[in-house]
Amino acid sequence: MAKGKGYQKFQAEFTKTAGKIAANKLLLTLRDSFIIVAATSMIAGFAIMIQNVFVDPTNGLIFGKQGLGLGRLISGSWAAWGKSGLFNGLTTTGNLIGLVSNGSLNTFAILLVVIFSHTFSRKYFPKSKEHMTSVLYALGAFFICMPWKFQYTPDGAKKPIDVLNYMDTTFFGTKGVFAALLISGFAVWIYNKVLAKNFTIKMPDSVPPAVARSFESLIPGVITMGVFIILTGISTTFTGETMPELLLTALQKPALAISGTGLFAFVSQITWSLLQWFGIHPTSIWGPIFGLTWNINDTQNMLGQAQHVYSTLFMNFSTVAAGSCSVSPVLALMLFSKRLAAKKVSKIALMPAIFNISEPVTFGLPIILNPLYFIPWLVAQPLAFYIGLFFTRIGFIGPIVNNVPWTVPTLLSGLLYTGSINGLIVQAVIVLITTAIYVPFIRMDNKLNPDNPDKEMENAATEALGA
């Protein structure tokens, strides 16, 4: 009894604490911002996947040496294939598809400034008459702070040259993520605070509202821009670096270094499934953290700038559907459960599970808050993650560089994530092993909760009489 009370107290405290964290306004703002921006990343990822997997004439799955090798079959040899018109056409097509990155991944920080400042303004200053004005001054502040002087090494040159009065556009991408969030958030806060003090130009009532709001924003806008001019002057005078450069060195690089450790990965995977078992959506807590770290790794991998192993894409590939390994408990139930109710749930849950939707089985069986399935549920995600990591470390698959929609069925998604049959094999191994760890607990469920045929006949008779 004491143990039961202790468990209930732990459950209540855990749920209460996790709920408070998940309801934090700033975390929600970050989560919502990254979710919105992720739409452009997904489009870019889809385009890069098509480019790498289907169109690439050299290493693609269809024509390349690592895939079906249709290029050689069509031309007779790899040398002839490299000189063919189709090879050149596919190369040109791939390069054109790759331009999608310029409007999404390479401008990731700019997109974040727009989305984050608008979301931040709506959540923290709901009474504001025009949230887009906040976005306007956030963009202005970001460009004020950007490095307008940098060093560049031309092709063939041995020493870098100073480039003056041109913006360092590398901060438009992943290098500028922390700067985009901090500068835009601070700009929105200053602007709205000054606006709330009524340091504004009041226009007569006869002036159209849109014109009046434009004049109303002038003084708060000038003050906001002025603050960032002063901050830029202080930063460059005392450190020789602009604010984006300082934030990159002081915050972003250390955060990315921490997120690249095995301990960070282990904690994230264990707590992800633990939160899910308690019925708390882990994206509310981990989404903003991954957005600031592993999503940057995703973008750099897709752009070919790096080959990070730890990334959100890798987690989606290895743990299937971002953690739930949804198809594994369903398969285990279908194969080994003797309970009619569980069998029915597994049949209903099969089709959603194929498309990586786990709710029918997690809430229908249920698995959530079910002590019997606590261990396999807690273990399945980290186990799947480390199986994927093992095959990456030994070189069986490479770092994940393709972004695949999370609803793409398991095995097919493994093929597309990696652009290789090896990805399909790794996911098959993961599904087999994570299915197997459910088996002992399903057999235990068969013994602890056996179906009662007499009771079922009684219920059927009652229903028949009632009908």
pLDDT digits (tens, 9 = 90+) for 199-236: 877 777 777 777 777 788 899 999 999 999 999 999 99
Considering the domain architecture, whether residues 366 and 354 belong to the same structural domain is answered as yes
Considering the domain architecture, whether residues 452 and 340 belong to the same structural domain is answered as yes
Considering the domain architecture, whether residues 32 and 53 belong to the same structural domain is answered as yes
The verdict on residue 16 lying in a domain is: no
How high does pLDDT run on average in the chain? 86
Considering the domain architecture, whether residues 338 and 457 belong to the same structural domain is answered as yes
Considering the domain architecture, whether residues 188 and 280 belong to the same structural domain is answered as no
Which pLDDT score, from 0 to 100, does residue 223 have?
95
Residues in Cβ contact with 143 at an 8 Å cutoff, skipping those fewer than 6 apart: 167
The verdict on residue 427 lying in a domain is: yes
Considering the domain architecture, whether residues 299 and 198 belong to the same structural domain is answered as no
- Domain count of the fold of the chain: 3
Choose one of 76, 103, 130: the last residue of a domain: 103
The verdict on residue 10 lying in a domain is: no
Considering the domain architecture, whether residues 233 and 267 belong to the same structural domain is answered as no
Which pLDDT score, from 0 to 100, does residue 458 have?
55
> In terms of residue numbers, what domain contains 128?
107-241
The verdict on residue 8 lying in a domain is: no
The verdict on residue 9 lying in a domain is: no
Which pLDDT score, from 0 to 100, does residue 2 have?
46
Q: Residue 373: which of 409, 328, 334 has the closest Cα?
A: 328
The verdict on residue 12 lying in a domain is: no
Considering the domain architecture, whether residues 280 and 338 belong to the same structural domain is answered as yes
Choose one of 208, 241, 274: the last residue of a domain: 241
The verdict on residue 250 lying in a domain is: no
Answer yes or no: is pLDDT of 64 > 50.
Answer: yes
Considering the domain architecture, whether residues 192 and 276 belong to the same structural domain is answered as no
The verdict on residue 246 lying in a domain is: no
Extract the tokens encoding 232.
Answer: 């830029």
Least reliable range by pLDDT among 245-259, 355-369, 381-395, 402-416: 355-369
Q: Look up the pTM and report it.
A: 0.77
Which pLDDT score, from 0 to 100, does residue 1 have?
44
Considering the domain architecture, whether residues 61 and 210 belong to the same structural domain is answered as no
Considering the domain architecture, whether residues 218 and 232 belong to the same structural domain is answered as yes
Choose one of 86, 103, 120: the last residue of a domain: 103
Residue 419 β-bridge partners: none
Considering the domain architecture, whether residues 211 and 315 belong to the same structural domain is answered as no
Least reliable range by pLDDT among 11-25, 64-78, 285-299: 11-25
Share of the chain above pLDDT 90, in %: 37
Find the mean pLDDT for residues 298-305: 88
Find the mean pLDDT for residues 107-119: 94
